[in-house]
Amino acid sequence: MFEVECNQSGIELTFRVDETFSGMEWTMLDPSRLLQVLINLLTNAIKFTKDRPRKAITVTIGGSWSRPPKCWNEVTFTDDEKPKTDITEKAEWGEGRIAFLWLKVKDTGCGMTMDEQKKLFSRFSQATPRTHVKYGGSGLGLFISKSLTKLQGGAIGVHSEKEEGSTFAFFISTRLAHPPADHVAARAVQARPVPRRTMTGEEAMQTIKLNVLIVEDNLVNQKVLRKQLQKFGWNISVAGNGQEALEWLKDSVYWRNEKDSSNTEDKHELDIILMDIEMPIMDGLTCARLIRDYEHQGLLAAPSAPHSASSTQTQHRKTLSASSASHERAEKQSLRLPILAVSANARMEQIEQSLASGMDDAISKPFRIPELWPKIRGLVKRVADADTRIKS
223, 199 in Cβ contact below 8 A?
Answer: no
Task: State residue 332's pLDDT score.
Answer: 40
Give Cα 117 to chain centroid, integer Å.
24
Does the pLDDT at position 16 exceed 70? yes
The stretch 54-72 carries a mean pLDDT of 92
- 378 or 91, which is more confident: 378
CATH class for the region spanning 201-387: alpha beta
Regarding pTM above 0.85, the answer is no
pLDDT (average), residues 182-210:
54
Question: In this predicted model, which residue has the larger pLDDT, 319 or 80?
Answer: 80
Which pLDDT belongs to residue 144? 83
Asked whether residue 47 carries a pLDDT value surpassing 50, the answer given is yes
- Domain(s) of CATH 3.40.50.2300: residues in the chain: 201-387
Q: What is the SS3 assignment for 204?
A: helix
The pLDDT value recorded for residue 202 is 56
> Can you state the angle between helices 348-356 and 284-297, rounded to 10 degrees?
20
Q: What's the pLDDT score for residue 32?
A: 76
Q: How confident is the model at residue 383 (pLDDT cuts 50, 70, 90)?
A: low
The whole-number average pLDDT for the span 347-353 is: 74
User: Cβ(387)–Cβ(198) under 8 Å?
Assistant: yes
Mind listing the pLDDT tens digit for each residue in 275-334? 999 899 999 999 999 999 999 888 998 876 545 445 444 443 444 344 443 343 344 446
Q: Which fold has domain 3-176?
A: Heat Shock Protein 90 (3.30.565)
What pLDDT, on a 0 to 100 scale, did the predictor assign at position 271?
A: 92
**What is the percent of the chain where pLDDT is above 90?**
30
- Using the predicted structure, report yes or no on whether residue 339 has a pLDDT greater than 80: yes
> Lowest-confidence range among 10-14, 24-28, 173-177, 347-351?
347-351
Provide CATH 3.30.565.10 ranges for the chain: 3-176
Percent of the chain exceeding pLDDT 70 equals 72
What is the predicted pLDDT for the residue at 189?
A: 43
Cβ neighbourhood burial of 392 (10 Å; 0-12, 13-18, 19+): exposed
Q: Quick one: DSSP state of residue 308?
A: S
**pLDDT, greater one: 178 or 342:** 342
Backbone φ and ψ of 236, nearest 5°:
-115, 125
Task: Tell me the sheet residues that pair with 362.
Answer: 341
Alpha helices in the chain (DSSP H): 3-9, 31-49, 114-118, 129-135, 140-151, 181-187, 201-207, 219-230, 242-249, 284-297, 348-356, 369-379, 381-387
Q: pLDDT-derived band of residue 58, with 50, 70 and 90 as boundaries?
A: very high
Choose the weakest-confidence range: 14-23, 254-263, 382-391.
382-391
For the ranges 7-16, 19-28, 216-225, 281-290, the maximum mean pLDDT occurs at 281-290
CA distances from 318 to 14, 32, 292, 311, 323 (A): 27, 9, 13, 15, 11
> Is the pLDDT higher at 119 or at 181?
119
What pLDDT is stored for residue 138 in this prediction? 43
Average pLDDT over residues 225-254: 93
The mean pLDDT value for 23-51 works out to 86
Q: Contact at 8 Å (CB) between 279 and 217?
A: yes
pLDDT in tens, 109-144: 988 888 888 777 765 444 454 443 343 344 567 888
pLDDT over 70 at 235, yes or no:
yes
Q: What is the C-alpha end-to-end distance of the chain, expressed in Å?
A: 19
- Among 78-82, 261-265, 316-320, 367-371, the range of highest mean pLDDT: 367-371
